[in-house]
Structure 1
Amino acid sequence: MQRKSIPGTLLMLLAILLLVTGTFARSWRAGDECPSTIKVSIPGGRYYRDDEPKKPLLDTMASVHAALTTCPNITSLDLRVSLQGCSNWPDRWSFPFSLPGGETYPALRQIRLEGYRFDDRPVDETGWPKGSYLPWYEKSLDWVFSGNAMRALRYHMLPREQREKNNIQLWLDAMDWSQVEEFAFLGHQQPDTVSALLNSTQGVMPGLRRVELGRGQPWSTLQFLLNVERHSLTHLTSIDSFNRKTPFALREVQGDSLQHIDLHTVETTLVESPAYTATELEHFKHMPNLTHLSLNIARNGTWLFEELSAISQIPSLRTAELWLDITSMCRKQKVDNGHYNVEDPNCKGRDQYLLPYINETSTLEVFKFLRAKKIGEELTNVTFWGGDWSRPWDGPVYSPPWIEGRKVKVLCTNGKEEHGSGEENCTVLTGVEYWDQKARWYEDVDEMWLNDSEQFY
């Protein structure tokens, strides 16, 4: 009886295999339709219904690299590389450039990279297998049959300068960077990859006008600005890279051209978000073309009107975004070494939130103060951001912080565009009376799951 069941089992496995392979589209390869822009997250992939056309996907670093070396009309690249979930790894953290060279990328105008590693070196990928408990002869077989032994031999025959090039140096060889107008590099705390970028890009992007740097070393923004032509940038965003020298440095090297500056820091549960003093904010009033400013403003039971007054003294400023903490100091102190003391009877309910609360009344007071003190151009609108506006976590399992999902957004305008009356008004767009809301992790979480989760808060 058991022997008769084997063919049926094999047929079932074959049917499942055909079903799975029919559900997924293959990776993009040379000969497929060329995209004009690329915006992907690696690893990628998606499910298709049986009646859907299965377009080839740019779901690996290798497939994106193939498109860039094949399609001359691509103008922009928006790429995120990350570990998604617990086991969904990217095939690589950088593009697989040929170490001998000879590859060509189109002259991209927009580049946005998150999690990319510029310090990777092809020669390091061909070395003797490390971190393995296999015996030496099995390591030898793995080294040979993987092709790394032959690649190592070919690389050894290259000139030393070419052999030791890292990823950013190979990318510079493959592409004309003078056409880049917008460049963003996000999500890296590793000094080596930041240094690789900074050490190789001095003067290579003369057409650069917009820069976004995020979640890097505090010194990385200032270092990058030294690589750019003086007074050429119009837009600068530097997130979670607070440095008290930044306002002065911007005034000196890019102050004549900057129109849009964003220097905000995302709130965390443990520490107070850093904010510039009134003296440091004075540097912005010497930037003649600055029309928009986004940064953190502190408060300690009341608004710090000295700092707000410094913002209103920027003659050319027309719009602003103010980032505010919503977590009280007593709530921040309840977290010790990453553990929350649920039995602590103090600092519950509204005491966990910083005063004054961010609502229509409090923000309207600030907005009217800014407009009354404003010199030069009229301040037409101010957006107030409070709490956690970071992207929801999609990496490995982790313990979400208390602040996660708690947020508020208020827009204040002069009323001319909406009503034509010119009367200032403020509207809460997200997080109405957030200080009375129960614990939420994400706004789109299933309500039943929310109720089960509240016991942990």
Structure 2
Amino acid sequence: MASRAKNRPIRLLLVSFLILFALFVSLPAVDAQQTAPQDPCLPKINAVVPHPSNPPFGTMEQVHQVMKRCSTVKELNIHRTPPGCTDAGVRWNLPFALDGSDKYLSAPEILDLNGYDFDACEWDGIVPPRPHWSGEDGSWPIPSSSNPIIRWASDRYYRGRMYVDWAKDQWYSSRLFWWSFGGAEAWYRWRHVSVEQRSKTNIELWLDAMDFTKIHTLSIKRATIKSAALFDRLPKELGSLKSLTIDGTWDGTSSNVSSMERPNSLDFISAFPSGSLTGFSWVDSQSCDSNLVEAVVQHYGASLTRLAWTNSDVGHGHGPRAICTESELQTFGKFPKLTDLTIDLNRQDDAWPYGKLQAVARSVPHLTNLTILLNLEEYDTSNRSESSTDFYGSSRTETLAKPLLTADAARDMFNVLRKAAGSEKLETVTFKDIDWKGDPEARAVCTTLGDDGVRLGNGEPACEVSYGGYYKYYKDPGLSAQ
């Protein structure tokens, strides 16, 4: 008893301190955005979060403020990089006010989102475990009196009581993260917003804040999306959309799409008016199944002039990328206006895939531009580790797929394509040897056009080749990768 009485003054002091602290932190704070130099109003924003290689746009907050303040932004690119050990509390989406008060002055025409978190509900992330005396949503009791002084005093009382409860129950350490990264402030600010409004996902708040009707080019990559708003509301807002790029299946699974009835991303792809798109790219659809291509044909077959259908090893993580068979390649011939095509092909038995090249040329004879992504290495799971020997050591270069990509090889394949097509409409063919991340290590371009865009006089293609790290080392081990 004596010990408890002895500690009573300390407890009273602690409680008094916490109540005073609660009153102090409730005072209006100066907005950091008002004191910091404003980011410039630019026609294009390239934001890399959280590790920008080219400032100033390295946080979602910076992008958010510029979009609210400036009407100049015509192109908005947001790329989320993998988080590091020091990136706790970094946002993966734009910080919209939960009451819907944010409005963007800019109406971009190009929107490129990589790794953006569409589905997050801000309220779910800021509500702390509630005290026993609070409401089910964590809100504090509100007095029946309409007197503003009584209501203010009641609010201060429960604010102080919350901190006292934290101290008594040793909650403070577990709430430090919530407090330090703005959760407490946000919850206090939005606690009286209606349940319907504060339950909105990030994409719903974005749709309320920005004019999407000017966007003609949209790219969504690295996304697993469940929000109905993106499937239902967003397509209706994109009345000017002409070019769409989609990455993955949006199923949150790595299984082959041929075993699925219908990938989620196809629902979004098909949500736009029939015949409205002129350009479409599907990266890592995980399949070349003709039924999947047919679904796109039925919706946009009459309008597409540019199509890219590519997969990567890293895209689905279980074995080599999906490569189209000759019969599947013939399905691309059902796009009557197609003039620009990008596809994957692999070497076959240490030889160029002449049969598939001929299938493409015969199926789509009206092509003027063709890009083919080849396999840099023979597929071998043991080669995916960079821990064995030097990155550019002999054990790495020996895994390069044969034959090597050269200007002569590219010219030979170009002529095979032209002969199979039975016309000279094909103007430019680009061959890329890509690594497992999709980055080109060798690039060969054959074209019948000069620098001025006029056809070369002799009609023969001019072919040039450039090499990256693997090829440079293979051709001359004394060269370092650049």
Q: State whether TM-score is above 0.5.
A: yes
Equivalent residue for 1:186? 221
Name which of 271, 276, 293 aligns with 1:247. Answer: 293
The answer to which of 425-434 and 198-207 deviates more is 425-434
**Cα distance, 1:443–1:230 mapped onto 2, change above 3 Å:** farther
Pair 1:348–1:75, CA change in 2 (3 A): closer
- SS of residue in 1 equivalent to 2:281: strand
Cα distance in 2 for partners of 1:372, 1:427 equals 21
**Kept in 2: contact 1:231–1:257 (CA 8 A):** yes
SS in 1 for 2:236: coil
Q: What is the CA-CA distance between 1:173 and the residue it aligns to?
A: 0.7
Q: Check 1:74–1:349 CA distance in 2 against 1; reply closer, same or farther (3 A cut).
A: closer
Correspondence 1:321 to 2:371: yes
Instruction: From the superposition, tell whether residues 359 and 67 of structure 1 become closer, same or farther in structure 2 (CA, over 3 Å).
Output: same
Going from structure 1 to structure 2, the CA distance change for 1:102 and 1:424 (only over 3 Å counts) comes to same
Alignment correspondent of 2:62: 63
Take 1:224 and 1:439, find their aligned partners in 2: how far apart are those partners? 48
Question: In structure 2, what is the equivalent of residue 236 of structure 1?
Answer: 280
Farther off after superposition, 136-145 or 295-304: 136-145
Q: Give unpaired runs (5+ residues) of structure 1.
A: 1-25, 48-55, 392-404, 445-457
The 5-angstrom pairing of residues 224-373 of structure 1 reads: 224-243=268-287, 244=289, 245-266=291-312, 271-301=319-349, 302-313=351-362, 314-329=364-379, 332-335=380-383, 351-373=398-420
> Which is higher, the Rg of structure 1 or of structure 2?
2
- For residues 57 and 407 of structure 1, do their structure 2 counterparts lie closer, same or farther at Cα, with a shift above 3 Å needed? closer
- Could you list the per-position Cα deviations for residues 10-35 of structure 1 after superposition, in whole angstroms to 9, with x for gaps in the alignment? xxxxxxxxxxxxxxxx9996866422
Kindly state the Cα deviation for residue 420 of structure 1 after the two structures are TM-superposed.
Answer: 2.1
Cα distance, 1:126 vs structure 2? 1.5
Q: Give 1:299 shift.
A: 2.3
Question: Counterparts of 1:441 and 1:251 in 2: how far apart (Å)?
Answer: 47
Equivalents in 2 of 1:212, 1:227: separation in Å? 14
1:383 paired to 2:430? yes
Q: 1:441 to 1:265 in 2, by over 3 A?
A: farther
1:429 matches 2:466: yes
For residues 84 and 180 of structure 2, what CA distance do their matches in structure 1 show? 31
- From 186, 192, 196, the equivalent of 1:157 is 192
| Residue identity matched to 1:38 | I
Match 2:49 to one of 35, 42, 49: 42
Matched to 2:367, the amino acid is: L
Paired AA for residue 413 in structure 2: V
d(CA) in 1 for partners of 2:226, 2:50: 23
- Offset of residue 265 of structure 1: 2.6
Question: Do the aligned partners of 1:28 and 1:63 also contact (CA within 8 Å) in 2?
Answer: no
Residues 1:443 and 2:481 aligned together:
yes
Equivalent-residue separation in structure 2 for 1:316 and 1:385 (angstroms): 22
- SS of the counterpart of 2:294? helix
Distance 1:424 1:209, change over 3 A: same
Quick check: which one's helix share is greater?
A: 2
How many percent identity over aligned positions?
25
* Counterpart position of 1:214: 247
C-alpha distance in 2, partners of 1:90/1:160? 25
Q: Which amino acid aligns with 1:426?
A: C
Structure 1: distance between partners of 2:245 and 2:87: 27
**Alpha-carbon distance in 1 for matches of 2:395, 2:406:** 20
Q: Deviations over 1:351-397 (max 9, x none)?
A: 52323322223222211110001146611111100032848xxxxxx
RMSD over aligned Cα, in angstroms? 3.8
In 2, Cα distance between the equivalents of 1:326 and 1:147? Answer: 47
Question: What is the identity, as a one-letter code, of the residue corresponding to 2:421?
Answer: K
CA distance in 2, matches of 1:147, 1:372: 65
Question: Contact 2:282/2:310 (CA < 8 Å) preserved in 1?
Answer: yes
CA gap of 1:220–1:298, structure 2 versus 1, over 3 A, is farther
Which amino acid letter does the alignment assign opposite residue 360 of structure 2? I
5+ residue gaps, structure 2, are: 1-32, 131-165, 251-256, 258-262
Output the TM-score relative to the length of structure 1: 0.73
Q: Deviation per CA, 1:143-189, whole angstroms, max 9, x where unpaired?
A: 6787645643664533332121010000011112122111111233x
Task: Please say if residues 120 and 167 of structure 1, whose CA atoms lie closer than 8 Å, have aligned partners that are also in contact.
Answer: yes
Residues 384 and 90 of structure 1: CA distance in aligned 2, closer, same or farther (over 3 Å): farther
Partner of 2:446: 412
Structure 1 residue 415, shift from structure 2 partner? 6.1
**Structure 1 residues 415, 30: closer, same or farther in 2, change over 3 A?**
closer
Residues 31-84 of structure 1, C-alpha deviations (whole Å, 9 max, x = no match): 66422321222235689xxxxxxxx93332112101111112322211222246
Shift of 1:242: 2.9
Letter in 2 for 1:87: T
Offset at residue 201 of structure 1 (A)? 2.1
Secondary structure in 1 aligned to 2:311?
coil
- Match of 1:294, as an amino acid? T
What residue is the counterpart of 2:73 in the other structure?
A: 74
Q: What is the alpha-carbon distance in structure 1 between the residues aligned to residue 478 and residue 217 of structure 2?
A: 36
The secondary structure found in structure 2 opposite 1:118 is coil
- How many residues are treated as equivalent by the alignment? 388
Counterpart code for 1:424 = P
Distance 1:142 1:443, change over 3 A: closer
Q: Which amino acid aligns with 1:231?
A: G
**Residue 207 (structure 1) shift:** 0.8
SS in 2 for 1:161: helix
Q: Determine if contact 1:40/1:58 at 8 Å carries over to the other structure.
A: yes
8 Å Cα contact 1:119-1:196 kept in structure 2: no
Correspondences of 1:63-212 after superposition (within 5 Å): 63-83=62-82, 86-87=85-86, 91-105=90-104, 106-128=106-128, 135-139=170-174, 148-149=183-184, 151-152=186-187, 155-188=190-223, 190-192=224-226, 197-198=230-231, 200-212=233-245
The alpha-carbon distance between structure 1 residues 46 and 29, as it changes in their structure 2 partners (threshold 3 A), is: farther
Are the equivalent residues in 2 in contact too, given 1:42–1:90 (CA < 8 A)? Answer: no
Q: What TM-score does the superposition give when structure 2 sets the normalisation length?
A: 0.69
